[in-house]
A and B are shown apart, each in its own frame.
Chain A
Amino acid sequence: MEIKKDLKYTKTHEWVKTENEKMRIGVTDYAQEKMTDIVYVELPEVGKELKKGDELCVLESVKSVSEVYSPVSGKIVEVNKTLEDSPDRINNSPYNDGWIAVIEIKDGLEIKEFLNAEEYEKHIESEKA
């Protein structure tokens, strides 16, 4: 299982990467492994306004349905359309090709609440225990 040093994480297993006033979002390697083969992605509309904690998108594996929550408040400015035809990109490349959406950040203070790689690793261990 890979945890990237240069990314920040949430307790609900999303990763975030700040790009100026925007934030790129995906799910972690640990999350994709838990979900198994992802076979369907229900993407949000570009332009949609979300509050922190709102449902960002839905990922479905053969056996389960999982929600991905927006780690920040803001407006969706980009979604990864390639996931519609190749949802397995999330399994194969969760931190790169498998990114889900880019959100324009509304409240800069929210980005201070994320976990760093080390904290996220500890969080996974505590969930397993």
Chain B
Amino acid sequence: MKHTPLFEIHKSLNAHIVGFAGWEMPLYYSGIVDEHLAVRKNAGVFDVSHMGEIIVSGKDALDVMQTIQTNDADMSVKRCKYTHILNAEGKIVDDMLFTKIDANRCFCVPNASMVDRIFDIFNKSASEKDVKIENKTDSYVCLAVQGPKSMEVLQNLTDYDLKNIKPFWADYVDFGKTCLVTGTGYTGERGCEIFTDNDFGKIIWKKILDAGVECGLKPCGLGCRDTLRLEKGYLLSGQDFHEDRTSLETNASWVVKYNHDFTGKNALLKQKEEKHDHFVGFILEKGIPRHGCKIMKNNETVGIVTSGTMSSSLRKGIGLGYVRPEYSNIGESLDIVIRDKNAKAKIMKLPFV
């Protein structure tokens, strides 16, 4: 099991540690629900250093970026985008964020469990190209600072005007050391992600906790990271897709830009003309849906649950999953099979909150 540079700090904060994608990570400190509500109401800081960092640089960097992912990488410097990386059949291998950190350099953040696979995909498409691909995952600490008061807390730590860190834009910010800051997160709240070296990562973690005490900022684990993203309907790699679903089937088909050639494009163009499953969110009257539960309509299986939890904000069971197109409309009533019993569910507009 791998550890982030902050592992000892988490233990000293009495974090409950679990294994995740080959890493021992904090599941929670004070409690999943408590941390979830802190992020929705105030702020929270997450150590997400297990996430990958792959840097693509050189004259052909844009060329390689366009080939391996669905979104349009031809963009301004300091812009970030969310994207899908597909196989030749159009199925999603992984999703990631990438930032154009200068004219010929892109900073990519794939999921922890997929770093080696994505690094491999980059290298295959980079052969005979003037480009350098570096896997820098072990050289970076990444802290996600999230919640309505997150930027206010961070503003105490720098002279840089953090209003410039708009959603899906990035910049270098001096917090005592220059860090890459992206206006991104996985909670649906205002906030950012800070990328820095392993030593300063430990220092800034402490600075953020100290600066945030007054407004209720809490250290947060992967438990509430999952429940927060679920309430927003964000996909979780390996759970909501596992090289078995295309971008068109998810609720993020907007990440596909057909103005460039990318792996999987032909498969998507073909699927566009066909009927296919749709990714939906649903709420239950009673009970909690879980990964793998069947979705039924009139006693016929019409879909499958890929994620589910008790929503701390709504205090109801919520779920995400794929259903046949004819049953994917908002307001549709469905049954979710939980422990051999049918639970009533209704398709809701995403995000839930």
Residues of chain A at the chain B interface (Cβ within 8 Å)? 36-37, 39-40, 42, 58, 60-63, 65
Question: What are 19 A-B contacts with C-beta separation under 8 Å?
Answer: A36-B27, A36-B31, A37-B33, A39-B33, A39-B288, A39-B310, A40-B310, A42-B287, A60-B288, A61-B32, A62-B33, A62-B223, A62-B309, A62-B310, A63-B27, A63-B226, A63-B309, A65-B288, A65-B290
In the complex, B28 has a CB within 8 A of chain A: yes
Task: Tell me whether B16 is interfacial, beta carbon within 8 Å.
Answer: yes
Chain B residue numbers with a CB within 8 Å of A63 are 27, 32, 223, 226, 309
Given contacts A37-B33, A60-B288, A63-B226, 10 further A-B contacts (CB under 8 A): A36-B223, A37-B32, A39-B310, A39-B312, A42-B287, A42-B339, A61-B32, A62-B32, A62-B310, A65-B290
Rounded to whole angstroms, the CA-CA distance of A40 and B309 in the bound complex is 10
Contact A36:B310 (CB < 8 A) given known A42-B287, A62-B227, A63-B27? no
- Across chains A and B, the number of contacting residue pairs, with CB separation under 8 Å, is 38
CB pair A37–B317 under 8 Å, yes or no, is no
CB contacts (< 8 Å) of B317 on chain A: these are 40
Q: Chain A: interface secondary structure?
A: strand
Closest residue on chain A to residue B33 by CB atoms = A37
**10 nearest CB pairs, A to B:** A39-B310, A62-B32, A37-B33, A60-B288, A40-B288, A37-B31, A37-B32, A62-B309, A40-B310, A62-B227
Binary contact track B42-55/A, C-beta < 8 Å → 1, others 0 = 00000000000000
Name which residue of chain B comes closest to A63, CB basis: B223
User: Once bound together, how far apart are the Cα atoms of A58 and B339, in whole Å?
Assistant: 10
Name the residue on B nearest A33 (C-beta).
B16
Nearest chain A residue, comparing its CB with the CB of B317: A40
Give CA–CA (A63, B222) in the complex, Å. 11
Within 8 A of A (CB), among B1-52: 16, 27-28, 31-34
Give the contacts of B210-233 with A (CB-CB under 8 A): 223, 226-227
Whether the Cβ atoms of A36 and B287 lie closer than 8 Å is: no
Q: Which A residues are in CB contact (< 8 Å) with B312? A: 39, 62
Contact among B32, B223, B310 for A60, CB-based, below 8 A: B310
CA distance A39 to B312 in the complex (A): 9
Q: Does the CB pair B28–A36 fall under 8 Å?
A: yes
What CA separation (Å) do A61 and B288 show in the bound complex? Answer: 10
* Residues on the B chain within 8 Å of A65, using CB: 288, 290
| Docked CA distance A65–B227 (Å) | 15
Write out the residue numbers on chain A whose beta carbons fall within 8 Å of the beta carbon of B226: 63
Closest to A87 in B: B310
Q: How far is the CB of A34 from chain B (nearest CB, A)?
A: 10
Contacts of A60 in B (CB 8 A): 288, 310
